Amino acid sequence: MKRLGILALTCLFMLNCSLSKADEGMWLLSLLGKNYEQMKKQGFKLTPEDIYSVNHGSLKDAVIGLGNEGSPFWHFCTGEIISDQGLFTTNHHCGYGMIQSHSSVEHDYLQDGFWAYSKEEELPNEGITASILVRMEDVTDKIMSNLKDDMTEQERAKVISKIGKELSEKAVEGTKYQAYVANMFNNNQFFLFVYIIYRDVRLVGAPPSSMGKFGGDTDNWEWPRHTCDFSMFRIYTAPDGSPAAYAKENVPLKPKHHLPVSIKGIEDGDFAMIMGFPGTTDRFLTSYGLDETINVTNKLRYEIRTVKINILRDEMASSQAKRIKYASKYASCSNYWKYSNEQNKALKALNTMGVKQEIEKNYLQWAEKQPNAEAYKTALKDIKDGYEGRRTYMIANSYIMEGLLQGPDLLLFPLQSMELNTLKSALNSGDQGQIKNAIEAAKPALEAFYKDYDAETEQRLMTAMIDYVYKNMNKDYYPDFIPNILEKKYKGNVAKMVKDIFAKSILATPENWNAFLAKPTVKAIDEDLVYKISLSSYKKYAELNGLSKKAAPNMARGKRIFVEGLLKINGNKPICPDANTTIRLTYGNVGQYDPKDGVTYKYYTTLEGVMQKEDPNNAEFVVPQRLKDLYKVKDYGQYANKDGELVTCFITNNDITGGNSGSPVINGKGELIGLAFDGNSEAMSGDIDFEENLQRCINVDIRYVLFVIDKYAGAKNLIDEMDIRK
């Protein structure tokens, strides 16, 4: 929210001003009619029906949510279809895990890039899904009519789940669609989303990581940026066009719509909209929740992950094999490691705490004037009491989750591996047939785990992470393995305990595991140190989670009623719900910004900046020789701008968050001009409080993408598929 002082905030609440500004908002597609006039003023040339239509192809049909087979409705990234053959683009960092999974020392696609010059060369990715929205429907009345004021939050949740399931099942009867009901505004509104979910997604192309991750951790969340953050995939279907798992006979998707690609370029002030699947925002967070975010969640995540990051950096630099094994894990860990620190800086610099406190002050003034509205008056107290009551448990659980369960990979594996529990059950039964089947079933899971596993690295990680937890967390909340094993048997010597683990644990090395499978016993599992530590850590985590809920019995109710009050204050004026991985649209404009006194950042960067940043001695800033050769002769083809420059990235003031990675940046004519991939550090408070003067979305220019495909990789087969607008 723009900082306009107390006068504006008073207007916001007491005079019924809108909570949202023109550029703030991740809007639901079916409700865009309310924003249409503003969008036209900013440069939109189409109609709302061109964006969202149930009856004919529209922009929504070209936007996909990337997910996993086990949780297809939770979209980790976004992509956009750019040909009539199911070809789509997303970010390099979105495809990073898939690229890594196909990489080896012999075929290092992370280092060298990957390009399929024919469809036969495209690589399948088991478990990855691509969702396209079919339709959405406001079902608030259908759910709210079954809720009563005297229900507890638990009772409400059960009814919401039951009715939501019934509505979802009815919506997809006789189809191959999938559906679910998502809550908005803290359970004050509900929408049904119906998707078609494809299950055969194949890798088509990706630049080397030196380009796709150019700038690494140093440039992450920063502008100016020069990262070529894209990768390419294709959706396949059964021959009849229906979703199907990977099969050789599958054919490329025939989409209802694909985006034309514009190489006309961008100018300061141009209209830009972004469609995608933003993960989560928390714009209605109170000052009490903000305090927990700053001083517990972000603080501890950054501090604990720093230990892990430093070890991974050192180990990955020591060999190519380790670099490949841990590349995706490092990227996943480091992204929100830096985010947590940068967000805390931005929240402090922008006085977000003061903004939240002023909102709450004005809310309470409004609540006092409502007749028979005791719930509104006590909502903030319920929230405050909840956060204060659970604080010590949240701190302890941050240590357990970040330091133990998500620290070394080995400690989480016994909890993830159903095969290990199945084998234990089979051994307990004594049935030789069951035991044989369980052993065979356990082999693939362990093989997949050990593919990206290095015992030396894991030993260093486990030693450092357990030691950090042991020395820093409140001993009153230790998992019981600490007093019963670490202190009792090893006198607090973490290194000695971990050394024993890697010498004796059935899980510590592939060799140990194979030896165990040759003669498996229940005793070997139960007495295994990794197994004991893993179960002990999870048991304490679950216990603390339960205590947290008991300590905050009315917090969920308080949050729901607080947001309900804000909606009433806002009246009928447009306001968008928090992001929750459902498809949204955000609109704005290309534009420069002034991050601090005496500094102005222009709205685009060029390949010249890549060469200026080059440092062959720093892995984050290595430039491939092929790119340097093309730069030297300025062989940019049709992708240069009017001044002969190759634009690499540009910025807009669109409202985005995690999950929007890979989202299409679309001009006023519905043409693709770039791919969103990051936000700027000065406004990292954006998930909690949108700062319209500083908020910027960082995008890779589609001309840089096409240049790399065409001139760098020579993949003209892919260029020929696209509808390129000049």
Residues belonging to the active site: 93, 229, 661
The answer to whether residues 134 and 58 touch, using CB atoms and an 8 Å cutoff, is no
Q: What token pair was written down for 270?
A: 């141009």
In this structure, how many other beta carbons lie within 10 angstroms of the beta carbon of residue 73?
18
Backbone angles phi, psi at 310, to 5 degrees: -65, -40
Distance of CA 398 to the CA centre of its chain: 19
CA-derived radius of gyration, the chain: 26
Which is it for the CA torsion 14, 16, 17, 19, positive or negative?
positive
Residue 98 to residue 68: CA distance in whole angstroms: 12
Residue 490 to residue 482: CA distance in whole angstroms: 10
Q: What token pair was written down for 73?
A: 């409705």
Coil/strand/helix, residue 91: coil
Report strand pairing: 664-666 vs 672-679.
Answer: antiparallel
DSSP state of 708: I
- Give which of 408, 500, 516 is closest to 454, Cα–Cα: 408
Residue 216 to residue 619: CA distance in whole angstroms: 8
Residue 275 to residue 78: CA distance in whole angstroms: 9
Task: Give the CA angle between residues 720, 607, 634 to the nearest 5°.
Answer: 70
In this structure, how many other beta carbons lie within 10 angstroms of the beta carbon of residue 522?
13
The answer to whether residues 363 and 548 touch, using CB atoms and an 8 Å cutoff, is no
* Helices within 350-431 (DSSP H only): 352-368, 374-398, 409-416, 418-429
- Dihedral of CA atoms 483, 488, 492, 496 in degrees, nearest 10, equals -120
Residue 489 to residue 529: CA distance in whole angstroms: 12
Q: How far apart are the first and last CA of the chain?
A: 38
Residue 620 to residue 418: CA distance in whole angstroms: 38
The answer to whether residues 297 and 392 touch, using CB atoms and an 8 Å cutoff, is no
CA separation, residue 497 to residues 146, 402, 458, 467, 721 (Å): 56, 20, 14, 11, 58
- Give which of 338, 222, 360 is closest to 291, Cα–Cα: 360
Residue 221 to residue 214: CA distance in whole angstroms: 12
In this structure, how many other beta carbons lie within 10 angstroms of the beta carbon of residue 550?
11
- Give which of 209, 166, 214, 212 is closest to 190, Cα–Cα: 166
In this structure, how many other beta carbons lie within 10 angstroms of the beta carbon of residue 145?
8
The answer to whether residues 300 and 399 touch, using CB atoms and an 8 Å cutoff, is yes
Residue 479 to residue 533: CA distance in whole angstroms: 8
Tokens 């495909």 -> residue: 709
Q: What token pair was written down for 345?
A: 């800086």
| Amino acid identity, position 691 | E
- Dihedral of CA atoms 130, 134, 139, 140 in degrees, nearest 10, equals 60
